[in-house]
A and B are shown apart, each in its own frame.
Chain A
Amino acid sequence: MKIDNQTKQVELPFKVNKEVVSHLSLGLYRNFARAIKELISNSYDAGATEVKIKLDLDRGEIIVRDNGRGMSLEDIEKKFLTIGYVTQPSDKLDELGRKRIGTFGIGCLSVFPYCNTVHVITKKMDSDDLIELTIETQRFFTGTPSDIEKEKAKCTVHKSDLAKKDGETIISLKGIKQHLIKELRQKSGSGWSSIDKFSGFEKFKWTISQYSPIQFSPEQRILRSFFADAERVPMRLWLDGKELFRNVPENIEILDKGEEKFGNVHLKYVITTAKKPVEPEEARGLQVRLRDVAVGLPTDFEVSKLTGKVPGKLNYISGEVCVLDGLDSFLMIDRDSFSYTQEVSEMQDFFRKKLTKWSDVQEKWAVQDKDIYQALMPLKDSEPLIEELKKANILHFSKERLRLSKEPMVKKSRERITSTLETIKKALTDKTQFKIISRKEEPKDKQQPVEVKPKEKSIVIYDNHPEFVESIEIDDKKFSVTYDDWDYKKSHYSICKLDSSGKKVAFNSSHPLFKSKISEDVIKKIALGFLLIAKDRKDEEKLLSELNHLIETVFKG
């Protein structure tokens, strides 16, 4: 190779094209509500205790106002208008006991694609100046790209009307894009199964509430206090005059909660069940939060994919995982996930196991509940008892969630026939940890047949309650029913027999017909009918044997 002696050295500057703004803002924040969340996160970092949002679709404007520290001209220049301004994650808490959310300095870019103008009014605490700033955002998306350093934002400084000690920042997005307005005005579809069925406004509200660093509502007392940090001043958020709180599915119950450490990662979690599929479906799984801000949407940590098993009641589960320490530096730039580290892997594995466990537990509950509901079906008014059993946590799901048979008790193959009383006793003994106490005394007036005593962990059953007296009617004659066992081969009364009074009929529980899947009512009525036909006839024994044989032959076949 020939080396030219005439070579020269030059220094070429790196240049940042203004399209970088477009790439960054469009690439990072694909959803308008999430872009607004970035502004809210900025307010949180600015020490705001109150953030108020007003959506004015008629004017194509959205305003976000906070009472945070506000900005000086220098702050605006060095932080707000500096793209990629980096604040190192820090363990230090600010005066409100908060850790910074934003580290990348691109929060203001998030809203650029959605409006024509960003208008900022800000007053820094302990200053009398109020600064007004206008950014024409569309210049970054249209026309010929040019050097970003040539772009200017016009600032005006006024005297503020606020008290000197107060800070404030108001960001107005003007000229909101028409497609967004149309989306926000969209009416709701049928059902609440997905946020896509919500009205445009509700979807926006749900997304903001899901992502923002706000609190649980006062009604969610347990969740609120579990995740509360006494040292940290919370931020409150209003949308169109109504305060927003974290989304919590309706009627949830806590399954599990606790604190865990995975290496340096310290977290708190709550796992809840809605006892039905969580709606909207976007809320299913566990919402991971870092410094109160959602990291992506709720996740099941890909439990089905990674365990090769589809937990049946996974869609009943929701909850929160609040990372308190240790992952500050591992948040991806889109804030939707963490980089994959040993701790993250351990954490994910832990929650996969938890989700599988609680799904399995609920599957088991569903089977138990089904058996108890079926056993209670013959009772005339089982609702009060069902409510008591629910309160005592013996029943977990509503009847509607379980596919119950219309028959009182679907007999399983080879199961012997029993009375309602025995069936209920068996179901409650097998399916609960409660002690079953049988009372033989006559029940008092208005006494329920079954009493649940959660404190004593016992269930009292009044054996002689009228609800348990079974009867059968044939030709307007009523017979009370009992069950007994005898060798059906050794007696012509192989299926049933009457007592001496002729008013009580005993059915042979061990007769094979009652172990078949044929409706026991049908067999009972035919067998009793034949018994009544044969009764008191000279050839009673022979006739009854033949009739019973006939039933056995027909139904066995």
Chain B
Amino acid sequence: MAEIDTLRDQLIEELWLPMAREGGARFYNSRRKNKQMKLFTLTDGINFKEISRLEDNNLVQRGDCVLWVSNMIKAVRAETEALGVVLNGSICDELISTATCQLNPLFPCDILNLDFSSQDIYVNNSRIEKELEKVESFIVLQGQKRSKGFVLLQTTVVNSEDISRDNVKRVSDAMQSSGWGGLALDAFPPTISSNTQKMDLIKKVAELLCQKYKYNIFKISSLSKDINTQQQLYSLAVILVR
């Protein structure tokens, strides 16, 4: 069984960094020598590897990041790294797109690293549905804060747990957007059981959410790594522009 940390290191090098570089060039090419962007990251609170790698590549600046960790102990550890603002709690319980949310004044960000695999998410079922709901909330928050473009990195563990297509649609459609007719997921079966289909669904939802919130997709790319025969670490990277 591969350690998630090792697989995450591979994702950083093979997907996150190349896409962040491309996003930096797209957003800041004419303005900055170093494409230093503001990062929001769901981080593991242990080694903060994604931040140090982005920093090594002059894509983000120490002190200018927003870190989310799943508990207070990790937050204390993260504080000593002096990487930026450290927040902690259960990301799935956070009402992200509300004005009172603690994240509100810290946004918009240029890179959103929504690495749900880094968080201790204690959810018995519908975990991926909840994560997709949070992804949408973050896109809404970026839109509210008038972000013209950002790099979305979305990572999750895909395992034997089924995804309910209708549940995904219902939760998303409850969030209104002018002129939006709802998530069109008819190509997927009501219960999504195969890991390949789950990954396709995650990608499709991301594409549709871009349309819903009037962002164009400049580039989209994904990568999956086998944790074992039943589980994959799946990561999707999208450069959204308006």
Most chain A Cβ neighbours within 10 Å, of B45, B77, B83, B120: B77
A360 to B137, CA, bound (A): 73
Q: How many A-B residue pairs have CB under 8 A?
A: 42
A52 within 8 A of B: yes
Give the nearest-CB partner of A123 in chain B: B73
Choice from B46, B74, B80, B120 contacting A54 with Cβ under 8 Å: B80
Give the nearest-CB partner of A66 in chain B: B80
Given contacts A161-B45, A241-B62, A241-B63, contact A54 B82 (CB under 8 A): yes
A63 touches B80 (CB 8 A): yes
A389 within 8 A of B: no
Choice from A132, A170, A238, A242 contacting B77 with Cβ under 8 Å: A170
A352 to B212, CA, bound (A): 79
Choice from A53, A63, A158, A242 contacting B76 with Cβ under 8 Å: A63
A238 touches B76 (CB 8 A): no
A54 touches B79 (CB 8 A): yes
Most chain A Cβ neighbours within 10 Å, of B45, B76, B80: B80
A56 touches B79 (CB 8 A): yes
**CB of B72 to closest CB in A, whole Å:** 9
A162 within 8 A of B: yes
Give the nearest-CB partner of A172 in chain B: B76
A121 touches B81 (CB 8 A): no
A241 touches B74 (CB 8 A): no
B81 touches A241 (CB 8 A): yes
Interface of A is mostly: strand
**CB of B75 to closest CB in A, whole Å:** 10
Contacts of A238 in B (CB 8 A): 80, 82
Number of interface residues of B (CB under 8 A): 14
Interface of B is mostly: mixed
Contacts of B80 in A (CB 8 A): 52-54, 63-65, 170, 238
A130 touches B73 (CB 8 A): yes
A63 to B80, CA, bound (A): 6
Give the nearest-CB partner of B44 in chain A: A161
Most chain B Cβ neighbours within 10 Å, of A53, A56, A161: A161
A240 within 8 A of B: yes
Per-residue CB proximity of B97-137 to A under 8 Å, as 1/0?
A: 00000000000000000000000100000000000000000
Q: For the A-B complex with A65-B77, A170-B73, A238-B82 known, give 12 more contacts whose Cβ atoms are closer than 8 Å.
A: A52-B80, A52-B81, A52-B82, A54-B82, A56-B79, A132-B73, A158-B73, A161-B45, A162-B46, A168-B77, A170-B80, A240-B82
30 A-B pairs whose Cβ atoms sit less than 8 Å apart in the complex: A52-B80, A52-B81, A52-B82, A53-B80, A54-B81, A54-B82, A63-B76, A63-B80, A64-B80, A65-B76, A65-B80, A132-B73, A161-B45, A161-B46, A161-B73, A161-B74, A161-B120, A162-B46, A168-B77, A170-B73, A170-B76, A170-B80, A172-B76, A238-B80, A238-B82, A240-B82, A241-B63, A241-B81, A241-B83, A242-B82
The 4 residue pairs across chains A and B that have the minimum distance between CB atoms: A241-B82, A52-B80, A65-B80, A54-B80
